[in-house]
Amino acid sequence: MSALEPPILPASRWAALWPGRCAHCDARSGQPLCHACLQQDLPLRPRCPSCGVAVAQDGQICGHCLLHPPQWAGAAALGDYRFPNDQFILRMKFGAEPALGRWFGDLLGARWTQAGLPLPDVILPVPLSRERLRERGFNPAWEMARRIATHLNRPADPHALRRVRQGIAQSQLPLEARRRNIRGAYACQTRWDGKTLLLVDDVMTSGATLAETTRVLLRQGAASVWVAIALRTPFDPAP
């Protein structure tokens, strides 16, 4: 993947949604990041094929995944959840900018294809609770998932996986408490016997949310679950 260039998305798609300036360097741009900042801030650097965290070389599995292999089959991420990229997530979630989710989805769809990852049978967003959906007005993961579905020419389903319990926001808890907090928060009535599924979310930190949703889908017969995330929280914070 390191030898590939970040995709250049058609400027016409974003002309009506973006003010024409790069969010990071203020250069003229037809999408949220100009090509130079896309290469610098969301580079195609080697990432762990199991969890998407940055690693030293292509194909290297990180130490955490070697010790604790995730239930999902593999993961792809665009970049690290740290400044300045984290500002896109904050704007998307709390600034009511769903177009940023669609932009992340376009990038992820292109990168999934470039990396030659398996084509899923169905693409599912990690759902929000009804309370959080009313609060935000949209689900960022669904904005991403439907654009990935367009790129991969695969169906997407925003309703099959449901959040049935809100609980405390994961971001407010220490990492070791997140798995307990999220247990039993999701449900699915659809059978996925023999299907390959792609789960989409905006950020992975501890992986607890994706682990729980993957567990639910595997119990419903899915042959495998893959994960696509916009940004991955690094193991070690930037100094």
Is 130 within a domain?
A: yes
Residue 204 CA to chain centroid, in angstroms? Answer: 7
Average pLDDT of the chain?
87
Is 187 within a domain?
A: yes
Is 24 within a domain?
A: no
Residue 237 pLDDT greater than 50, yes or no: no
Q: Which amino acid is at 165?
A: R
Per the structure block, which two tokens stand in for 62?
């990180």
- Tell me the residue range of the domain where 109 lies: 50-232
Is 26 within a domain?
A: no
Is 175 within a domain?
A: yes
Task: Compute the average pLDDT of residues 95-101.
Answer: 91
Give this prediction's pTM.
0.86
Is residue 2 very low, low, confident or very high in pLDDT (cuts 50, 70, 90)? very low
Task: Compute the average pLDDT of residues 89-104.
Answer: 91
- Tell me how far apart the alpha carbons of residues 62 and 54 are, in angstroms, rounded to a whole number: 8
Work out how many domains the chain is built from and give that number. 1
Are the beta carbons of 1 and 46 closer than 8 angstroms? yes
Is residue 43 very low, low, confident or very high in pLDDT (cuts 50, 70, 90)? confident
Is 173 within a domain?
A: yes
Task: Compute the average pLDDT of residues 101-107.
Answer: 95
- Tell me how far apart the alpha carbons of residues 76 and 227 are, in angstroms, rounded to a whole number: 6
Are the beta carbons of 121 and 195 closer than 8 angstroms? yes
Is 204 within a domain?
A: yes
Residue 180 pLDDT greater than 80, yes or no: no
If one compares 44 and 145, the residue with the highest pLDDT of the two is 145
Residue 141 C-beta-side C-alpha neighbours within 13 Å: 28
If one compares 108 and 180, the residue with the highest pLDDT of the two is 108
Is 43 within a domain?
A: no
Residue 176 is part of a domain; what is its CATH number?
3.40.50.2020
Is residue 95 very low, low, confident or very high in pLDDT (cuts 50, 70, 90)? confident
**pLDDT score for 132:** 85
Q: 184 vs 145, 188, 216, CA distance in Å? A: 23, 11, 9
Is residue 215 very low, low, confident or very high in pLDDT (cuts 50, 70, 90)? very high
Task: Give 61-70 contacts, CB < 8 A, sequence gap 24+.
Answer: 62/235, 64/235, 70/207, 70/210, 70/211, 70/214
**pLDDT score for 182:** 78
Residue 229 pLDDT greater than 90, yes or no: yes
**pLDDT score for 10:** 53
pLDDT tens per residue across span 69-86: 999 999 999 999 999 999
